[in-house]
Structure 1
Amino acid sequence: MAKEDKKPLHAGAVEIDEALKVYYPETDERVLKKLNVWQSLKFGLLMHWAPSSQWGIVESWSLCSEDEEWCKRNIEDYCEYKRLYENLITTFNPVEFNPEKWADAALAAGMKYFIFTTKHHDGFCMYDSNYTDYKITGERCPFRHNPNANITKALFDSFRHRNFMIGAYFSKPDWHSDYYWWRRFATPDRNVNYDIRKYPERWNKFVEFTHNQIMELMTDYGSIDILWLDGCWVRSYTEEELEAERKKANFNIYRIQNQDIKMPLLAKKAREKQPGLIIVDRAVPGPYQNYLTPENQIPENTLPYPWETCMPITPSWSYEPGLKYKSSREIIHLLIDIVSKGGNLLLNIAPTPEGDWEPEAYERLKDIGKWMKINGEAIYDSEPVFPYKQNQLSYTRNKSNFYAFYRIKEDENLLPKEINITIPEIKDEPVITVQGNDAILQCKRDGEKIIIIIPEELRKVKKDQYTFTMKIRT
């Protein structure tokens, strides 16, 4: 992933308009069962972390010779820059790493699933891969002596112990591998830097290398629920698709070619090890994109298939010191907006090079957790209900009740005397209570509109009151 930018599509980000065009429904009953569970969870944690956090830069992308403002290098000599970047392994020693602390904080915040970057595009493995020494347990990495040196395993074990669904982020391109970026040639962009048709044996070695690394994760790291693949340009293309990609590419294109990673075989092998595995081959339309992942975007309406908005808590996916954090109010309102349209929110928090989160991250999760304790029943295992969102109102429902969230603005000190909701499914006179104090609200009907009277004693907005949430029983 790349740093947040005004442009909607970069680094494989999925545009909503593109995502709406095609979805291939899953047919495996075990996958469908797990997908249904995942859809009920609503709120997950993503973490981008690598040795590059020591420089406080966007992970991986400064290695790529695409001229973008958000991944500029501070050294003119590219070869020297790459040498220094890859040498960060020798000083990466996150001794403050405490997986239990993160898992406890995420659990208290109401998060229910966890996805971790086991390997990003730069090729650095945050797990003990047998197929590279460019890894957290490698001979050159001082952290290899730590009891939790296999960071991925320690995290997966800690989060799984707290009943989180577990997902492995894995980058299909590998810019450290000589089978992908061959040292014989320059590396002008994100793509493989040699002609696969001319050197098929080398590409086949890369495919084998990729499969082997993923199978390690599927074999040695306990129960895995989600394989979350990034790097959508590594995929099989038809000639027509290749031509279309070349025309719309928004980077300095060198060579877009058929980078067939043999996904059918990979999926088959992975699901033999992990039955029911959800596979998310991001931004690659086809049967191995079990849910869609609009990046930093929320659709205007519901989508007719499983989806998740992935979004960082700061403007960057990676740790960069001094960045502004989204407020607790903003995150909660984002969560409501997404859930009311049938999606999940995957919130990214990037650890520091020392191995902890900044205090702001813990503060946000604590605030969200307090809100979730009161309002979680309107979030988890909920479904969207028309009209989904109206001005400051958002709606959800579960098997028993409807819910209306009145999203309180930051400068709003007094709730309105009346709140008008419109849920056509509600035909009878409803009983409306307030989440957090069970006050029964008076209401009256005006056609399909329900006019809810807010009593004076409830109108004053309390400190850190992010919503006025109403339970509607019919």
Structure 2
Amino acid sequence: MEVPRSHISLFLCMLSCVSLIGSRYTADWASLDSRPLPEWYDDAKFGIFVHWGVFSVPAFGSEWFWWNWQGAQISEYVQYMAKNYPPGFTYADFAPDFRAQFFDPYEWADIFEASGAKYVVLTSKHHEGFTNWGSPNSWNWNSVDNGPRRDLVADLGVAIRKKSLHYGLYNSLFEWFNPLYLSDKQADFKTQEFVNNKLMPELYNLVKRYEPELIWSDGDWEANDTYWNSTEFLAWLYNDSPVKEVVVVNDRWGAGCSCKHGGYYNCADKFTPGTLPSHKWEKCTSVDTYSWGYRRNMELSQLMDLPFIIKDLVHTVAFGGNYLLNVGPKPDGMIPPVFEERLRDIGAWMKINGEAIYATKPWRVQTENATVPVWYTSKGSTVYAIFTTNPMQYTFQLFAPKTSDKTVVTLLGISEPLKWDPLHSTGLIVLITDLPYSPAQVWTLKLDGVA
């Protein structure tokens, strides 16, 4: 008997669905890199990075203090210790002073929400190996058994999620002075004692316990991904972990992986491409241009000011990236007021201009030097032209947009449409009678009905 074609089509459709549902990612980059990036990450655009740990106690130079002092033995750090601490003082002796006695996770969450950020990434463990949670694989070198005597990762996670922000965790793969890691390194990474007995048990436990929606991996460059067992971990993360549907990861999973493999690309700290990348990327940068962790000797001139941060954010988003801005809290758990001021001022700008940032896509033209520098973003049929200008300059020529008789131009923050004239066969001239106050001197034109 001949089977009706409609039955055959239905069978093939069911077979396809079963195959799709049953598909699993395998532990190789070809498979792992095929996983679609969860939409929440590209829509978010702006996140806060938090570097906080024992390195916040000496608060000198950078978060690489321990390595600079006893690894590289940089004279500036050696002299700092000789001048300020007694003979025999070890790095571990800093840990009891990492007390976090004034740490209020809900206050942090308020500040981060006010900044306009949509996700927060906290250091669960930096290269020093100290974990900001009660890791069963880090006895007495963690925030529950030492220092704060509390689970910092858990406490902040609860507060962040109450604000409906996405919660991510930074994790360093390597640890400068861990004996197991040094033994593997001595063996040219042909052994995996550190990976099997410290790193991976800890990382699996971290994911199961706190369910981070983003894992920001780092400290990978001394060994390849095979040593780190990175592909095996990511296959589990994408297939069987409690966050398999939503988790996002970066590209730091082994020497040579950066800008080649992973969920999105960091490529390098403060990476800033000059053209539109073909893959989703993120720029991580710090308000303190000298350090990611808190420094008691930081100077105002060494911090990014608000106009620079906003321009950097806009440039990043126009080129399809996310912007992850770092602050370094003090060891007592307080966020320095100068950092809080920056974050709240970003939020004030975002309240007016966020429409041109969140959930946008790169336009066909990312930037042009018209009358003033302009960056473009888009959302559906709307194009946003984000510009800086002298307050006395109120007439702008934009060459990239193609106008029609249906074109409407408005300035975000002002409801009334602006007057405009076509510029020959392409572009437009916009007349603005007054510019509203902007703390960053950055404004946004909303262009509807342009191509």
Question: Which range, TM-score by smaller chain?
Answer: 0.7 to 0.9
Equivalent residues in 2 for 1:348-427 (5 A)?
A: 348-391=326-369, 392-408=373-389, 412-414=390-392, 416-424=393-401, 426=403
Residue aligning to 1:19? none
Contact 2:168–2:214 under 8 Å retained in 1: yes
- SS of the residue 1:179 aligns to: helix
CA 1:131–1:374: 2 relative to 1, 3 Å: same
Paired with 2:78 and 2:237, the residues of 1 have a C-alpha distance of 37
Larger Rg: 2
Unaligned runs of 5+ in 1: 1-23, 183-191, 238-258
Paired with 1:72 and 1:389, the residues of 2 have a C-alpha distance of 47
From 237, 240, 243, the counterpart of 1:270: 237
Paired with 1:81 and 1:171, the residues of 2 have a C-alpha distance of 30
How far apart are residue 150 of structure 1 and its match? 0.3
1:60 aligns with 2:64: yes
User: What TM-score results when the alignment is normalised by the length of structure 1?
Assistant: 0.78
How far apart are residue 137 of structure 1 and its match? 3.5
Residue aligning to 1:87? 93
How far apart are residue 175 of structure 1 and its match? 2.2
Q: Which amino acid aligns with 1:438?
A: S
How far apart are residue 213 of structure 1 and its match? 0.6
1:261 aligns with 2:228: yes
Contact 1:387–1:422 under 8 Å retained in 2: no
Paired with 1:394 and 1:69, the residues of 2 have a C-alpha distance of 44
Equivalent residues in 2 for 1:65-464 (5 A)?
A: 65-66=71-72, 74-75=80-81, 84-139=90-145, 141-144=146-149, 149-182=150-183, 193-196=185-188, 200=191, 203-221=192-210, 223-236=211-224, 260-271=227-238, 272-273=240-241, 274-276=243-245, 277-282=247-252, 284-285=257-258, 288-293=261-266, 294-315=268-289, 316-321=291-296, 322-324=298-300, 325-391=303-369, 392-408=373-389, 412-414=390-392, 416-424=393-401, 426=403, 429-445=406-422, 446-455=424-433, 458-459=434-435, 462=437, 464=439
How far apart are residue 28 of structure 1 and its match? 7.7
Deviations 1:19-72 (A, max 9, x none): xxxxx787688x5251x2201110001111111211113123542534779977
User: What TM-score results when the alignment is normalised by the length of structure 2?
Assistant: 0.81
CA 1:69–1:382: 2 relative to 1, 3 Å: farther
Contact 2:376–2:383 under 8 Å retained in 1: yes
How far apart are residue 468 of structure 1 and its match? 2.4
Residue aligning to 2:6? none
Contact 2:397–2:427 under 8 Å retained in 1: yes
CA 1:279–1:26: 2 relative to 1, 3 Å: farther
CA 1:427–1:304: 2 relative to 1, 3 Å: farther
Contact 1:385–1:397 under 8 Å retained in 2: yes
Paired with 1:25 and 1:111, the residues of 2 have a C-alpha distance of 32
Q: Which amino acid aligns with 1:330?
A: F
Q: Which is further off, 84-93 or 344-353?
A: 84-93
Deviations 1:147-205 (A, max 9, x none): xx1001111121122222221111011124210134xxxxxxxxx641246x73xx334
CA 1:72–1:435: 2 relative to 1, 3 Å: farther
Contact 1:25–1:287 under 8 Å retained in 2: no
CA 1:152–1:82: 2 relative to 1, 3 Å: farther
Contact 2:123–2:132 under 8 Å retained in 1: yes
How far apart are residue 352 of structure 1 and its match? 0.6
Deviations 1:350-382 (A, max 9, x none): 001111111111111221111111111110000
Deviations 1:198-226 (A, max 9, x none): x73xx3343331110101111111x3211
- SS of the residue 1:180 aligns to: helix
- SS of the residue 2:250 aligns to: strand
Deviations 1:308-339 (A, max 9, x none): 00000112101002333321221111111111
- SS of the residue 2:387 aligns to: strand
Identity level (%): 24
CA 1:425–1:61: 2 relative to 1, 3 Å: farther
How far apart are residue 424 of structure 1 and its match? 4.5
Contact 1:235–1:261 under 8 Å retained in 2: yes
Paired with 2:409 and 2:177, the residues of 1 have a C-alpha distance of 58
Deviations 1:419-467 (A, max 9, x none): 1113346555511011111232111222222111222xx05x6362522
Contact 1:280–1:290 under 8 Å retained in 2: yes
Contact 1:126–1:135 under 8 Å retained in 2: no
Contact 2:249–2:262 under 8 Å retained in 1: yes
Unaligned runs of 5+ in 2: 1-28
Contact 1:279–1:288 under 8 Å retained in 2: no
CA 1:335–1:205: 2 relative to 1, 3 Å: closer
Paired with 1:285 and 1:382, the residues of 2 have a C-alpha distance of 25
Residue aligning to 1:467? 442
Contact 1:401–1:471 under 8 Å retained in 2: yes
Paired with 2:400 and 2:365, the residues of 1 have a C-alpha distance of 7
- SS of the residue 1:298 aligns to: coil
Paired with 1:438 and 1:208, the residues of 2 have a C-alpha distance of 60
Q: Which amino acid aligns with 1:308?
A: E
